[in-house]
Structure 1
């Protein structure tokens, strides 16, 4: 409150400008931008970037996720609130000593949540070097091995049949729907983090096809998906020889599919 009295222009003019630019939570954004720096010139630059449509998280350099403040930067996918449900499902599966792998890890948000839940052996991978660098910073101190490469390609062969939890926030937006996404996503996040192919399930099929060679007995693979894609995604899990479960969270408007080994 004291900060708002010290810079009243952020409560009025800035809120109005943000609202005019299409920011739904203009008051919250004005507060966060006002708190980001005491340097008025730098604050003006941050505000201009946001008004130009850059994601707020890229402007601030961080995102709140699962009780953590994680670093993000331009070019890195911003983890959504709905993905906290995926992180919660992963956390529920991990135990001390578990081997956890986060593929398509982006900023490392889901891996960080798993590391908070238990003392785990953690591996993460992403094809984008910018995301890999970001994940390494967010996972510093966890002992995580963060590698660059396509899906599971960079994982060490020694992990085969030893992974307890394999989680991936794969892209699942159908190609034809990307153009209708909010501009801050389609213009500022890599298309490869959004576009899941014609039906949105290209990476899902690759993930569940690869999962059996990594999962330990009783291990699980889990991923986020659209509610209308859940039945098709569950069938892909079943075809890979895994037992599927579909889980929904109405509060976060989130859907997660879990596939578990039968041996």
Structure 2
């Protein structure tokens, strides 16, 4: 039975699902000292997933290290749509990969795909190498500049959860994200779409004939994301899931 005192401490700290969190933290601890350390970290505002060391994502446990972007459930739409396009032997790139959750989940859904991932944040790259299958599959650097040139023109799906929060809205985010996740994983520039523009601009060079670029965005930003892709020569459409409040835009290269 979970210690009611622990539940009360978490609830007092503002944890809405205090009972569930107490159970998870207790299960993760191997000693009383470690339990207290984990509880103090959570009470201090650290995201639960960073405290536990993992996040539940698309049926997987994704390793999440301190200071690394925590994968959100809404990003599972990106995984589902990418997996629906891919077949065994295809190549998928998880760009702005963070923990590598998208690459790992796509690989689990479509065994036999070749997965690659890249991020500019060294901490994210370190974490992603724990999650993304295959040695040498995760690269550190700024978007496509991180990738080996032999991938150019051979990628069937580029799946991207680029930062899309407008700069002025960063201060309005919950402290868990604002204080414990890297700004580079959140800040998308003045309108939130600066990184999306850079991704879309070079995507046709990296996609195989008939390939697809999938970008997570917000419902409000989606029409502009469509315009960005169309300006880059892609045929774009919006996919929306009300169940998980998720929006992505898919841009396709003509065959």
**Shorter-chain TM-score: which interval?**
over 0.9
* 2:218 aligned partner: 226
Aligned pair partner of 1:111 in 89, 95, 103? 103
Quick one: distance in 2 between partners of 1:59 and 1:217?
43
| Partner SS, residue 228 of structure 1 | coil
Pairing of 1:1-263 with structure 2 (within 5 A): 4=1, 8-9=2-3, 12-116=4-108, 117-140=110-133, 142=134, 145-263=137-255
Which runs of no fewer than 5 residues in structure 1 stay unpaired?
none
Deviation readout 1:182-215 (Å, 9 max, x if unpaired) = 1010000000100101110000101100101011
Which runs of no fewer than 5 residues in structure 2 stay unpaired?
none
Runs of 4+ in 1 over 2 A off after TM superposition: none
Quick one: distance in 1 between partners of 2:144 and 2:57?
25
Q: State which drifts further: 151-160 or 171-180.
A: 151-160
| Partner SS, residue 197 of structure 1 | coil
Question: What TM-score does the superposition give when structure 2 sets the normalisation length?
Answer: 0.97
Change over 3 Å in CA distance of 1:258–1:144 after alignment to 2:
farther
| Partner SS, residue 19 of structure 1 | helix
Quick one: distance in 1 between partners of 2:53 and 2:229?
36
Quick one: distance in 2 between partners of 1:199 and 1:20?
36
Considering only aligned residues, what root-mean-square deviation do their CA atoms show, in Å? 1.1
Quick one: distance in 2 between partners of 1:91 and 1:24?
33
Quick one: distance in 2 between partners of 1:63 and 1:96?
27
Quick one: distance in 2 between partners of 1:38 and 1:161?
48
